């Protein structure tokens, strides 16, 4: 995995025979009380290593575009204008900056149903953001999100209820816990695996070192904790990388065992 270009809102990596583009949708601030111990209680104390912005946790919001030069998949779409926050909804600028034509996107893969991941399918003016869209892959347990504002997309939804290939190099893998339909996408290149996840980790400065720390908004904290542990074990294998929606932008890194937890090594400096 090698960084080949970057800008204010994107970073492009060569990944064997594929290209992976990290797209920055922006950031959101959340209170530290969202972090929970194994009993579901707010943490008594936040480690000094966890940075705060005006007493809040600042979470990057990333999406990822993967292509082999012919086929492509956009994984997550950001928040569009539904978050009502000027720090979000930047994915369209990121796509333009990276030279990606929205009119050529046929496949979108959604990690889960929450607004900061799925809302960008509809542009702020109410039109479909991806006019050539043919398929939207999403965990079956989250497919009910396609109502109201997202109703026009419903006829192209492909519910994922088990591990299934999207194409020759992308596989959807159910990883429920944060939501019933939370899904991880395993991207296989000639040089390794990239696991693209949504809300498996919210606070990378804490949850790699202490993976048992969960998140208040995990629908099933125990199940989310188990999914995180299994994915981290997989990522510790050789030639595996992670791309995380809430890892610090551009959000692509390698994971190694460290003590009772894991260490995270980013493959590019922060953007944004």
User: For 155-212, how does the pLDDT look when each residue is reduced to its tens digit (9 = 90+)?
Assistant: 999 999 999 999 999 999 999 999 999 999 999 999 999 999 999 999 999 999 999 9
Burial of 85 (0-12, 13-18, 19+ CB in 10 A): middle
Two tokens, residue 212: 């048992």
Whether the pTM exceeds 0.85: the reply is yes
Confidence of residue 271 (pLDDT cuts 50, 70, 90): confident
Q: What is the CATH number of domain 2-266?
A: 3.60.15.10
- Using DSSP's 3-state secondary structure scheme, residue 234 falls into helix
User: For 117-127, how does the pLDDT look when each residue is reduced to its tens digit (9 = 90+)?
Assistant: 999 999 999 99
Distance CA 181, CA 141 (A): 4
Task: Give residue limits of the domains in the chain.
Answer: 2-266
Which whole-number Å values give the CA distances from 21 to 97, 105, 223, in the listed order? Answer: 11, 14, 30
Distance CA 145, CA 60 (A): 23
User: For 55-76, how does the pLDDT look when each residue is reduced to its tens digit (9 = 90+)?
Assistant: 999 999 999 999 999 999 999 9
**Closest by CA position to 50, among listed 178, 272, 197, 208:** 208
Confidence of residue 83 (pLDDT cuts 50, 70, 90): confident
Burial of 101 (0-12, 13-18, 19+ CB in 10 A): exposed
Distance CA 48, CA 257 (A): 21
């Amino acid at each position: 995995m090698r960084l080949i270009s970057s800008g204010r809102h994107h970073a492009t990596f060569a990944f064997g025979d594929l290209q992976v583009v990290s797209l920055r949708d922006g950031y959101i601030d959340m209170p530290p009380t969202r972090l929970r111990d194994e009993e579901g209680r707010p943490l008594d104390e936040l480690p000094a290593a966890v940075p705060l912005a005006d007493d809040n946790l600042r979470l990057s919001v990333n999406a990822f575009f993967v292509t082999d030069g012919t086929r492509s998949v956009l994984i997550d779409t950001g928040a569009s204008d539904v978050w009502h926050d000027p720090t979000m909804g930047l994915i369209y600028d990121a796509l333009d900056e990276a030279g990606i034509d929205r009119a050529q996107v046929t496949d979108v893969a959604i990690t889960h149903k929450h607004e900061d991941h799925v809302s960008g399918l509809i542009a702020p003016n109410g039109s479909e953001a991806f006019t050539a869209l043919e398929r939207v892959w999403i965990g079956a347990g989250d497919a009910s999100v396609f109502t109201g504002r997202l109703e026009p997309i419903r006829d192209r939804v492909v519910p994922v209820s088990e591990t299934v290939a999207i194409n020759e190099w992308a596989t959807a893998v159910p990883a429920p816990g944060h939501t019933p339909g939370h899904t991880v996408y395993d991207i296989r290149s000639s040089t390794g695996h990239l696991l693209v996840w949504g809300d498996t980790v919210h606070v990378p400065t804490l949850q790699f070192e202490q993976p048992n720390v969960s998140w208040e908004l995990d629908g099933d904290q125990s199940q989310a904790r188990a999914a995180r542990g299994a994915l981290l074990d997989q990522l510790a294998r050789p030639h595996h990388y992670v791309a995380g929606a809430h890892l610090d932008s551009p959000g692509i890194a390698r994971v190694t065992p460290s003590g009772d937890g894991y260490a995270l090594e980013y493959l590019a400096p922060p953007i944004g």
